[in-house]
Chains A and B, each alone.
Chain A
Amino acid sequence: MKKKAQLKIWTTIAILIVFFVILMFGFIFYTQVEKISFERTQREAEARRSIDVAQVLTNLPELQCSVGAVERGICFDYYKLEVAEESINDEWLYYYGMFGYSDIEVKDLSGSGKNFTLYENQGDKTSYTTGFIPISIYDPIERLFSFGVIKVKSYYGQ
């Protein structure tokens, strides 16, 4: 009888142990699913980041062109691009707040063919998303527009 009672108690304890083990596996599975979901949300946020950077870039007075003293949208001034390469590098810390971990290049496709590297900061990030935005580049001396493209490489992950 004593042995029967002991066996009963051990059975109950074994059931509880199995129950908690199953619960633990269930919890681990759930946290893994949440982690994957969170990583996906992070990737989407990073993809949006390159668009945000491009949006800010196309509205910077440091780059925006003006024709007849009127600012034009989605247009860069050629000579501002020429001086911005060095200027942005000199004020790197200021622009880091704006651009974060990204590489920003502007290529003049139909005019000079020149490539302007405005900002570079990969940091220790390993992954990236790239966004291309078409833009006009205005030469205020020749008074001509040319086609250009902005390439924004936004880095994330470690």
Chain B
Amino acid sequence: MNIQGTRNKRGIIEAQLTWVFILIVGVIILLFFVGIAQKQKQISDTKNAAEILQQLDGILTGAEVSTGTASLVNIPKLDIELTCDAFTIEGVTKQLDARVVFGPDLIQGRQLVMYNLDWSVPYRVTNFLYLTSPNVRYVLVGEAEQELESLLPEYITYESIPTSDNFTDKKNYKVRFVFWDKQGNIPDVRGDISAVSINDNSASFNNGLTWSPSIAYEGDAFKVGAVFAENSEQFNCTVKKAEEKKRIVTELYQDRINLLKSKYSAGEACRELLDINLTAFYDLESRNYDLQLQSCPTIY
């Protein structure tokens, strides 16, 4: 019997098996750590997105209360998705609740433009907030320039052209054509192209295919909203939100007027001037002025 040979063979096999064992265990350990690292990255990304969302929410609250101001905020390079009811960063969503916000459905880039205007009818109902990115290109066609330029905030990227034939593509991720009181032609270019036709009391949107039915509104704040709103669905939704707020504020103002009226005796000038129904009265501005002249509490 060749005992030495058998021993050698056993030693070689044992060495090989040891290495196989080491390889298997090594791969298991590696996979374990890679799994942990991936899971940790996911958690970290979600946590980051939630923190950024929280901070952005605070910034939006601040921006909403300072009327007529535009600001440019530096943000991390994350896509912000915006709808009528919520905004989302990296899959984490925050509700907008009662806030009336207009903006494109996707805001890309490292900067965010925030602007707000108050909506008054003539008493202030709420502040509208407008969000966009300097990377979105707004093209005012024809008369739209004279009618809208003074309402638009600084920091946005916009230009004026006489007709849509004069448009040159600059590879922006999003382009919005703005027409005044006509449903103009949209150039056939690649990318996210949309259009809006605005006049003093209604707006119609085009997503590149067809024009939507007109949506009625009142006030300049809505005109600006139509420039920034992504489409007719978002605009319609925000109009409804604003109308709901108007109903609530009007009811409260009416209750206040009735309470003030009750503090005066019959025949007093203030009582007579305060005897109005806000939903049916059409010249609130002059009535408010009359109340001021008589040193009575004003409606607004």
Give A residues with C-beta under 8 Å from B. 5, 12, 16, 27, 34, 38, 41, 45, 48, 52, 55-56, 58-59, 61-62, 64, 66, 68-69, 71, 77, 79-80, 82-84, 86-87, 91, 94-95, 97-98, 140-141
Contacts and interface: CB of A to CB of B under 8 A. Distances in A.
A41 B127 CA distance: 30
A5 B15 CA distance: 12
A61 B98 contact: no
Interface of B: 14, 21, 25, 36, 43, 47, 51, 54, 57-58, 61-62, 64-65, 95, 97-98, 123-127, 244, 248-249, 251-252, 255-256, 259-260, 263, 288-289, 292, 297-298, 300
A62 B248 contact: yes
Given A56-B65, A62-B252, A66-B300, A79 B259 contact: yes
Given A55-B62, A83-B252, 5 more contacts: A41-B51, A68-B292, A69-B292, A87-B255, A141-B260
A61 B25 contact: no
The winner among B98, B126, B251, B256 for most chain A CB atoms within 10 A is B256
5 contacts: A56-B64, A64-B124, A80-B252, A87-B248, A98-B98
A48 to B, nearest CB: 6
A52 B123 CA distance: 24
A61 B256 contact: no
B248 A94 contact: yes
A140 B260 contact: yes
Contacts, number: 76
A97 B101 CA distance: 14
A61 B95 contact: no
B51 A87 contact: no
Contact of B61 (A41, A52, A94): A52
B256 A77 contact: yes
